[in-house]
Copies of this chain bind each other. A is one copy, B any other.
């Protein structure tokens, strides 16, 4: 399984709006090979959002980025973001809930 741990930073005051956008359609990802998708806000600053994902494969994740609903979400979220991102790609070994 492929794992993705990313952070993105919202412009001041727009964090919760971005979180709502990211959560829209989360349940639908399962049909596209997503095993887990968690959206969270940082406890240490007011603007950082963390997204952690587990997919059946890297290809499933890549394909999901091309879905019309994903592209729409990205297009809506981008103007609300500062452009500061971090990203970690992993190989998921196992755990609880995956």
Interfacial residues, chain A to chain B (CB-CB below 8 A): 3, 5, 7, 19, 23, 26-27, 29-30, 34-44, 50, 52, 54, 88-98
Contact = CB atoms under 8 A, between A and B. Distances in A.
Number of this chain's copies in the complex: 2
23 contacts: A3-B38, A3-B50, A3-B52, A5-B5, A5-B50, A5-B52, A19-B93, A23-B94, A36-B36, A36-B38, A36-B97, A38-B92, A39-B94, A40-B93, A41-B90, A41-B93, A42-B88, A42-B89, A43-B89, A43-B90, A50-B90, A97-B97, A97-B98
B39 A92 contact: yes
A59 to B, nearest CB: 14
